[in-house]
């Protein structure tokens, strides 16, 4: 039977921390969220994104510089606090039966790395019923676009949503630094141990040592112009309709935004349909497939 000493606890903590960090690092190499969201560091409890409403584009300098105010529309992303706890029974340490806790810690590292993926996936699924910076649902049929560059004048409406009953698929333009969605990170995932058995209430009350994971972050909506959601069947015709709608989106004042969708996000239900349209060189009855590799197929493993 092992005697629980500070040196033994330190060695156990080192092993568990290493398993957590190694697994976390492996899962953050090419995550889903980085494909579709912009990372915005946060230094306070929340960030306000007034600049989403009106960001200046280059224009010919024919007079005094036109200064555009970054209109504050009150679109705010408030960080949430997430946690998870790993408990190791004191008796398991005494009986030298704690080796299997390292794989559990590694699993928790993987889960922490994938947490932003889940947040972004959930956000996309809520986009038809959650407001973005212009006061409309992020995916909607009536986003306002104004006749004048300063956001005044006659208003027309633009859709980035096609309603239906089929599983949702998403057409995105992710080529630029600013992407359709925002991942706001206040802290990195941190794992800490309640270390001292003489002072830890958990060791006294539950006869176990605990490691806690703490993570402050949140996901939010960026530019609706860069995203299109459809619940119509994933067909060539519906893809072309969505792509055309995105290509025709303009800024206030009618200036084209140069939107060019390069990615389609699907769940498991639409994966085969997406591959049939975009991943085969030749059509079933012969001839070249003009849609081959037109967009990157990304399968969202967390989508409902």
pLDDT tens across 220-266, in order? 999 999 999 999 999 999 999 999 999 999 988 899 999 999 999 99
Asked whether residue 222 is domain-assigned, the answer is yes
pLDDT of residue 91: 63
Q: Is residue 58 part of a domain?
A: no
46-48 and 37-41 beta bridge pairing: unpaired
For the chain, residues with pLDDT lower than 50 are 62-73
- Indicate the angle between helix axes 6-27 and 101-125, nearest 10 degrees: 40
In a domain, 68, yes or no: no
Six-digit token string for 67: 């200064």
Pairing of the two strands 181-185 and 37-41: parallel
The answer to whether residues 40 and 182 touch, using CB atoms and an 8 Å cutoff, is yes
Distance from C-alpha of 175 to C-alpha of 161, rounded to nearest angstrom: 21
**Residue 272 domain-assigned (yes or no):** yes
Domain range spanning residue 84? 6-45+80-299
Residue 55 inside a domain? The answer is no
* Residue 71 is assigned to a structural domain of this protein: no
| pLDDT at position 243 | 98
Per-residue confidence (pLDDT) for residue 30, from 0 to 100: 87
Q: What pLDDT does residue 54 have?
A: 58
In a domain, 120, yes or no: yes
pTM of the model: 0.83
Cα torsion angle, 280, 281, 286, 287, sign: positive
Q: Tell me whether residue 59 is in a domain.
A: no
Tally of domains within the chain? 1
Q: Which two tokens stand for residue 226?
A: 């860069």
Q: 171: closest CA among 277, 275, 246?
A: 246
Confidence (pLDDT) at 78: 84
């Amino acid at each position: 039977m092992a005697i629980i000493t500070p040196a033994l606890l330190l060695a156990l903590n080192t092993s568990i921390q290493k398993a957590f960090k190694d697994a976390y690092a492996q899962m953050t190499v090419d995550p889903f969220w980085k494909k579709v969201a912009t990372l915005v560091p946060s230094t306070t409890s929340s960030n306000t994104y007034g600049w989403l409403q009106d960001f200046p584009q280059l224009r010919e300098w024919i007079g005094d510089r036109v200064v555009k105010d970054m209109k504050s529309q009150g679109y705010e992303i408030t960080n949430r606090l997430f946690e998870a706890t790993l408990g190791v029974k004191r008796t398991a340490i005494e009986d030298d039966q704690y080796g299997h806790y390292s794989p559990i810690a590694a699993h928790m590292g993987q889960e922490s790395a994938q947490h932003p993926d889940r947040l972004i996936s959930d956000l996309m699924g809520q986009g038809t019923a959650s407001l973005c910076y212009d006061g409309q649902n992020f995916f909607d049929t009536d986003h306002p676009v104004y006749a004048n560059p300063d956001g005044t004048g006659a208003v027309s409406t633009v859709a980035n949503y096609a309603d239906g009953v089929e599983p949702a698929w998403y057409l995105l333009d992710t080529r630029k630094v600013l992407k359709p969605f925002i991942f706001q990170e206040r802290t990195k995932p941190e794992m800490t141990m309640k270390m001292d058995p003489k002072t830890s209430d958990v060791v006294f009350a539950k006869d176990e040592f605990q490691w806690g994971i703490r993570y402050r972050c949140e996901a939010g909506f960026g530019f609706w112009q860069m995203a299109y959601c459809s619940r119509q069947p994933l067909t060539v015709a519906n893809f072309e309709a969505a792509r055309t709608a995105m290509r025709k989106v303009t800024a206030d004042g009618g200036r084209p935004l140069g939107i060019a969708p390069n990615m389609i996000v699907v769940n498991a239900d639409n994966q085969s349909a997406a591959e049939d349209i975009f991943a085969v060189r030749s059509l079933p009855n012969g001839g070249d497939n003009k849609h081959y590799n037109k967009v990157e197929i990304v399968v969202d493993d967390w989508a409902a």
